[in-house]
Amino acid sequence: QVQLVESGGGLVQAGGSLRLACVASGLSVRTYNMGWFRQGPGKAQEFVAAIRRSGGYTYYADSVKGRFAISKDNALNTVYLQMDSLKPEDTAAYYCAADQSGIPSEVGRAATYEHWGQGTQVTVSS
């Protein structure tokens, strides 16, 4: 069974940092493109960041570029999202997702991803 288990969400003040982790089982992050999406209160789901299965390329939404960083540890089969300089508008449920197709041009589309984590809540206070 494929399972994506997220951790690291919580409450933080504006300007603070959090690191989300997504531990994959039943699939290898070496062979799947991995992405992070989020959905804030009253907002549509939006792409946050993605990393190719090779690990050689990363992608970011303009709203988080320069503040967030996606990475992975193949040995631990874990994908991370380091979030710095957090803003209240970053408040959202964050979801980890996995895509076996590995098509780079599609990493920003939620429909690309076959497997999803349960979501973890990030709340940023002002």
Tokens standing for residue 64: 């988080």
Report the C-alpha gap between 76 and 93 in whole angstroms. Answer: 24
Q: How confident is the model at residue 103 (pLDDT cuts 50, 70, 90)?
A: confident
Length of the chain: 126
Percentage helix, strand, coil, to 5, in the chain? 5, 50, 45
**DSSP code for 84:** -
pLDDT number for residue 19: 98
Q: Would the pLDDT of 105 be above 90?
A: no
The pLDDT tens digits of the residues spanning 4-24 come to 999 999 999 999 999 999 999
Statement: residue 121 has pLDDT above 90: yes
Mean pLDDT estimate for the chain: 96
